[in-house]
Structure 1
Amino acid sequence: MALNSINTNAGVNSAKDNGAIWAIAQNQRADVSALDSVKDSLQRGQSTVDVAISAGETISDLLNQMKAKALAGADVSLDASSRTAMANDFVALKQQIIKTIASASFNGTNLLKTAATALYSLADASGSSKLTVGAQVMGLANTAGAILTFSIGATFTSAATASAMVTNMTNSITAVNAAVAKLGTGSKAIQTHLDFVSKLQDTMTAGVGNLVDADVAKESATLQALQTKQQLGIQALSIANSSSSALLSLFR
């Protein structure tokens, strides 16, 4: 037992050594292993949210550019040809927003598209607790649940309609920035929980070690004592054999 404990650095190698401690350690090992799955789930969730954040930031930038085009188009001194050019740029930017929303997917999950649902990541080893990040639908105004205030056909043909688009862009920018902020909070929450799970896993692993690892110094002392006892026994037997041989020689 002592030699095995030193070789393996474990005082409890099987249920035969200490059934109760072995069972506790095995349960803890199972939880430590399960936490790997929790971390994988959290990391996938964070990547999904971070992709949505990047897309949301891009959309915010595009909306700022659309607002600038609409504002330029609202200038009453602008000639029709120039206003049309501004409107064409406005529509092109809108199409980029649509493509950005469609591309904001990770591992098959898109938190920005129409009908997007909340993201759920594992939060504990039992699988019963989930960390939730809500979807932020950034579709155009004619789609369900959308936060953008202009429709897919939005454009302007006059100073008045361009001015109306400035208001739409302002409202949309405010809504998108608020949505991206919520996603940012969600990503931070996932990272905080991921850090906690990693620390918990390290602590549990150390706890298993405390339960089953051998006291090497103590086991070494025990082994040395056994070896010394064995050597003394061998020496005593050798002396006894030598004495017997000496006595027998007297009768020769």
Structure 2
Amino acid sequence: MRRRTDLMPNSVNTNVGAMIALQNLNATNNELTTTQARINTGKRIASAKDNGAIWAIAQNQRASSQSLNAVRESLQRSISTVDVAISAGESVSDLLLQMKEKALAASDTSLDSNSLSALNDDFKALRDQLAKAVSNAEFNGVNMVSASGVTIAALANSNGTSKITVAAQNLALGGGNVTVAATASIATQSSAAAMISTINTSIQNVSSALSKLGTGSKSLSSHLEFVNKLQDSIDAGVGNLVDADLAKESARLQALQTKQQLGIQALSIANQSSSILLGLFR
């Protein structure tokens, strides 16, 4: 019986060995190009064609992370605005204490007119200083403690659907908290005695207003800390999805470079098969 063989015929027209060697070399070159791109960019998935689904997920998360930059800026700006308002409120409270001291001293019936007049001048100077502290308590064009104070509404999430609100507190003279009138004076012992009660009420109101502002500032600061951590977590998650393992890619690069050199040698050997056939006709 004749023994059947599956060996490829020797041909000068079709070099099957060279074709296979070239296919393997091209595959190695493609893998080498991919690995070099990962090393150059540091990313395993740099574009949608690398992996469309993962790239889309990562892109959506990048959008959330970048949106949180605006949230952080809004919170930081709001914290600064509230802190300026708190500083002004503390100054108002201190000035009210000094005004009470002057009013209490002026209520003494044993004072002569000159002493009473001097105390009244000091009282009015403190009153005017209080008004200036309130009018100058402005940050980025926003004043929370003036008669027309602005309520803060800071962004709280990346969609803009949630906000943290800190209400304005009117600390202006003659307002709901500081009941001392803008023209108040202690020119007489009787007016000075009446002023003590008014100032006491104002001190209590200002303390309550400062407590609300302080709570609002703390809430903003706590949320800012959370947003910072959330953004870091999102960025780390995106990195887990698309970043390349450079140690692994470096080892793969060396292996592919060796494989490429072997492929070139294999193709060179396969291309010599035609010249070997010439020996059959000598």
Which moves more between the two structures, 59-68 or 1-10? 1-10
Instruction: State which structure, 1 or 2, has the greater radius of gyration over its C-alpha atoms.
Output: 2
Within-5 A mapping of 1:236-247: 236-238=266-268
> Among 192, 203, 208, which residue is 1:162 paired with?
192
Q: Name the structure 2 match of 1:220.
A: 250
- What displacement does 1:175 show? 1.0
Verify: 1:118 aligned to 2:151, yes or no.
yes
Residue 12 of structure 2 corresponds to none
Q: 1:191 aligns with which of 221, 233, 244?
A: 221
Deviation at 1:234, TM superposition (A): 2.6
Which amino acid letter does the alignment assign opposite residue 131 of structure 2?
A: I
1:36 matched to 2:92 = no
Look up the match of 1:6.
39
Of residues 30-39 and 234-243 in structure 1, the stretch that sits farther from structure 2 once superposed is 234-243
Please say which of residues 7-16 and 229-238 is displaced more in the overlay: 229-238
Contact in 1 for aligned 2:44/2:243 (Cα 8 Å): yes
For normalisation by structure 1, the TM-score amounts to 0.90
Give secondary structure in 1 for the equivalent of 2:79.
helix
Match of 2:162 in 1: 129
| Bigger mean CA deviation after superposition, 73-82 or 151-160 | 151-160
Count how many residue pairs are aligned between Structure 1 and Structure 2.
249
Point out the more displaced range, 217-226 or 8-17: 217-226
The reply to whether residue 49 of structure 1 matches residue 79 of structure 2 is: no
Which residue of structure 1 aligns with residue 202 of structure 2? 172
Structure 1 gaps of 5+ residues are none
Partners of 2:79 and 2:221 within 8 A in 1? yes
* TM-score, normalization by structure 2: 0.81
1:95 matched residue in structure 2: 128
Following superposition, the deviation at residue 233 of structure 1 comes to: 2.4
Q: Give the whole-Å Cα distance in 1 for the aligned partners of 2:150 and 2:139.
A: 14
Letter in 2 for 1:219: E
Residue type of the alignment partner of 1:120? A
Give the Cα separation in 1 of the matches to 2:226 and 2:153. 17
Q: Does 1:138 align with 2:171?
A: yes
Identity between Structure 1 and Structure 2 (%): 56
Distance 1:175 1:90 in 2: 20
SS at match of 2:153: strand
* Aligned: 1:15 with 2:70: no
What do residues 127-178 of structure 1 show as CA deviations (whole Å, max 9, x unaligned)? 111111110001222x4xx211221221123222211111111111111122
Q: Tell me, what secondary structure is at the counterpart of 1:137?
A: coil
In 1, Cα distance between equivalents of 2:67 and 2:52: 23
Deviation at 1:95, TM superposition (A): 0.7
Letter in 2 for 1:185: T
Aligned mate of 1:202, from 228, 232, 237? 232
SS at match of 2:241: helix
Contact 2:142–2:150 under 8 Å retained in 1: no
Q: Which moved more, 1:41-50 or 1:156-165?
A: 156-165
Distance (whole Å) between structure 2 residues aligned to residue 241 and residue 39 of structure 1 = 65
1:25 partnered with 2:58: yes
